[in-house]
A and B are shown apart, each in its own frame.
Chain A
Amino acid sequence: MNLKQADTGKEYRIVQLPHLPILKGTGLKEGERISLVTVSPFQGPYIICKKGRHYAISREICELIRLEEE
């Protein structure tokens, strides 16, 4: 499954991340645990939480982030 298919509140583990310059060094890594906090309105980004920090990620990137349920 990808991040766009995730349910809010559930915990997931990142299985695969796209190789995008914008993601380099942001701390998101394969194997890391994240949860989907909310989906922004107006076709906006997905807000995820990783160790208490929040990130807004646009839908096209979310499609490329593969997850597995914890």
Chain B
Amino acid sequence: MGCCEDNGTCVHEYLSESIETNPTFLLFGNPNVGKSVIFSKLTGRAVQTANYVGTTVSYTKGEMNLYGDRATLIDVPGIYSLNAVSEAERVAIEFLENTNPSGIIFVLDATNLSQSLELFQEVREKQIPIIPVLNLTDVAQRKGIHIDVQKLSTYLEERVISTVAIQNIGLKRLIGEIRLSIRQPNEVSYKPLCINEIMQDVQTETEGNVTFLDRLGLWSMQSKTGIPIAFLVLALSFAIVIGGGKAVRSVLLLPLVNDVYAPWITKVVSYFLEDGLWHNILVGEYGVFIKGIEWPFALILPYVFFFYIVLSFLEDSGYMPRLGALVDGILRRMGIQGSNVVPFMMGYGCAVPAIIGTRTSTSRKERIIVATVVSVAIPCASQTGAFIALLGDRSIFLLIVMFILSLLFAFSAGILMDRFLIGEQPPTFMEIPHLLIPERKTVVKKIIGRTKSFMIEAELPMLAGILIAAIVVETGFLQGISTFMEPVIVNWLGLPKEATLALLLGFIRRELAVLPLLELPLSITQLFIGSVVALLYLPCLSVFGVLVKEFGVKTGVVISTSTIVLALMIGGVFNHGIRLVQTLF
């Protein structure tokens, strides 16, 4: 459990079942040294890369085409030593100890060579042929660090390949070296290294250039400047997502769907079908052909797209760990480390990778707290888009209140769980990467990849939800359920009984707990209550699935059920509280 490849294959399954006909290489090294970038370049497989420690939480396998020769490359999570402290680190060590690779491609960090050599030394003791790769040489140069690659090769008893992987520098030489090790396999008998001696002999340091980015990196960690920078980043992100999304939606997409596509498709369907049940299911109030295009593409996609721009930029810039260090003191009150800012931010995109990302946590308690908070109180990109569509036009203030509330709910849920769950709080130790200007190509690739997956993964479940909506509305089934749910929906939450549909569809996807509210004439109070319930309501089916996979059925069911109870409870309390205030004043 918890150590699976993206496609669901587990390490132990890989170890017992995988019979590799190709030579197999493991890609090893400390965290955040560019292993996944090298993997991507050598195999052509797109993998998640980012400028923070713990981007890779499981293994990924790919085929290398080495100008005719073929080999398998396995990218494992970065580790600091062979003493694992997190689940992700255990994956890397299991691969080293239980597979029999033809070789190891070991990525050394040119900006922190002594730390890389500590792990290199431990891995060398396994006496498996190693191809050392010295990456990030451009950053090292900027910092005034000069490494004599020839001398380093002599000490390491292997030819060291110097690379700047992100710019494809040195990769051809690396491919040549891999081919050589396939064609002329060697038995190795490495001697122990004297790291201090190597460092003194191969590395010289001069006064590096202190760039604006270096200064900005420092300012973003200091209290006086870090907090205003954090607010600025937050405000800018908000402005880009809401402003950009709204502009594209209202100027381009909504007119296109409502004025061009909808009349055309209604005309086409009306040509074949007369008014009636099927006609209405296809192009009626919740018509699959109309809402199936309008909701995902005209209402949600613009916001999701701009959110992915912001997220990809933040991930690759190295800002997120700085924010983590800045708010570590706050997050520790929830029993978790500041580094969990990363899964939280990812949760604003989608809860599934965020929950998988908790594998880097060093305790189960921490993992469960983060997964619960992400499931309960952090709206995913689609739901955020739905909130903006619902509230943005009526009241930006209400929209901001919703996001502040989501943070308050997240904080309260964390504090409560820290009190009730058994387990120790791990101390914080975080490596903070250099602040970088993200590489344009990588960011663009990420945005396109994520938007594509959103369109594929969100469209089908959303279509299914809209079809269910159309059927329950047009057959009168909704009327029956609404009457049954009236005490909760109308009396307790103060919403019209048609809002039952939102709760029904919310089981499928989170944004579907919001979008049906767009079709109802709601007062500002009702909009607010509906949004609060939707925010806290059950995570979607995919999130439920990943909770069960990562923590087991019991924990998955407990987290999901408590979100429903919490949503209805808090929604009702808000409703009656607001009414009371309205009566008094």
Shortest distance in angstroms between A23's beta carbon and chain B's nearest beta carbon?
A: 7
Shortest distance in angstroms between A16's beta carbon and chain B's nearest beta carbon?
A: 17
- Can you list, as one digit per residue, whether each of B431-447 has a CB less than 8 Å from chain A (1) or not (0)? 11000000000000000
- Cβ–Cβ contact A20 & B430, under 8 A: no
- Cβ–Cβ contact A56 & B115, under 8 A: no
In the complex, residue of chain B having the shortest beta-carbon distance to the beta carbon of A49: B218
- For chain A, the count of residues having a C-beta within 8 Å of the partner chain is 28
When the two chains form the complex, which single residue of A22, A25, A52 contacts B426, counting CB atoms closer than 8 Å?
A22
Shortest distance in angstroms between A19's beta carbon and chain B's nearest beta carbon?
A: 11
- For chain B, the count of residues having a C-beta within 8 Å of the partner chain is 43
When the two chains form the complex, which single residue of B325, B362, B431 contacts A40, counting CB atoms closer than 8 Å?
B325
Bound Cα distance from A56 to B430, whole angstroms? 5
When the two chains form the complex, which single residue of B111, B118, B222, B430 contacts A38, counting CB atoms closer than 8 Å?
B222
Whether a CB of chain B sits under 8 angstroms from the CB of A58 is: yes
Interface set, chain A 12-50, CB cutoff 8 A to B: 20-27, 37-45, 47
When the two chains form the complex, which single residue of A23, A37, A42, A57 contacts B327, counting CB atoms closer than 8 Å?
A42
Shortest distance in angstroms between B479's beta carbon and chain A's nearest beta carbon?
A: 52
In the complex, residue of chain A having the shortest beta-carbon distance to the beta carbon of B79: A25
Q: Which residues of A contact B337 (CB under 8 A)?
A: 58
- Can you list, as one digit per residue, whether each of B383-427 has a CB less than 8 Å from chain A (1) or not (0)? 000000000000000000000000000000000000000000011
Q: Which residues of B contact A23 (CB under 8 A)?
A: 429
Bound Cα distance from A10 to B428, whole angstroms? 23
Q: Which residues of B contact A42 (CB under 8 A)?
A: 327-330
Whether a CB of chain A sits under 8 angstroms from the CB of B83 is: yes
Whether a CB of chain B sits under 8 angstroms from the CB of A70 is: no
Q: A52-B143, A58-B429 are in contact. Are A40 and B114 (CB under 8 A)?
A: no
Q: A56-B428, A56-B429 are in contact. Are A27 and B114 (CB under 8 A)?
A: yes
In the complex, residue of chain A having the shortest beta-carbon distance to the beta carbon of B199: A51
When the two chains form the complex, which single residue of B227, B328, B432 contacts A55, counting CB atoms closer than 8 Å?
B432
Q: A24-B83, A26-B115, A27-B114 are in contact. Are A45 and B328 (CB under 8 A)?
A: yes
- Cβ–Cβ contact A44 & B338, under 8 A: yes
Bound Cα distance from A23 to B277, whole angstroms? 66
Whether a CB of chain B sits under 8 angstroms from the CB of A6 is: no
Q: Which residues of A contact B83 (CB under 8 A)?
A: 21, 24-25
Q: Which residues of A contact B328 (CB under 8 A)?
A: 40, 42, 44-45, 56, 58
Q: Which residues of B contact A24 (CB under 8 A)?
A: 80-81, 83
- Can you list, as one digit per residue, whether each of B327-340 has a CB less than 8 Å from chain A (1) or not (0)? 11110100001100
- Cβ–Cβ contact B112 & A58, under 8 A: no
Bound Cα distance from A25 to B80, whole angstroms? 5
In the complex, residue of chain A having the shortest beta-carbon distance to the beta carbon of B82: A25
Shortest distance in angstroms between A33's beta carbon and chain B's nearest beta carbon?
A: 12
In the complex, residue of chain B having the shortest beta-carbon distance to the beta carbon of A24: B81
When the two chains form the complex, which single residue of A22, A27, A41, A53 contacts B427, counting CB atoms closer than 8 Å?
A22
Tell me which of B145, B221, B337, B362 has the highest count of chain A C-beta atoms within 10 A of its own C-beta: B221
- Cβ–Cβ contact A37 & B429, under 8 A: no
Instruction: List 29 A-B residue pairs with CB atoms under 8 Å apart, sorted by A's residue number.
Output: A21-B85, A22-B85, A25-B80, A25-B81, A26-B115, A26-B429, A26-B431, A27-B112, A37-B222, A39-B223, A40-B338, A41-B226, A43-B332, A44-B326, A44-B330, A45-B329, A45-B430, A47-B221, A47-B432, A51-B145, A52-B208, A55-B432, A56-B328, A56-B428, A57-B429, A58-B328, A58-B332, A61-B427, A61-B428
Known: A51-B112, A58-B429. 12 other contacts (CB 8 A): A21-B85, A22-B427, A24-B81, A26-B431, A44-B326, A45-B428, A47-B432, A51-B114, A52-B208, A53-B115, A53-B431, A56-B328
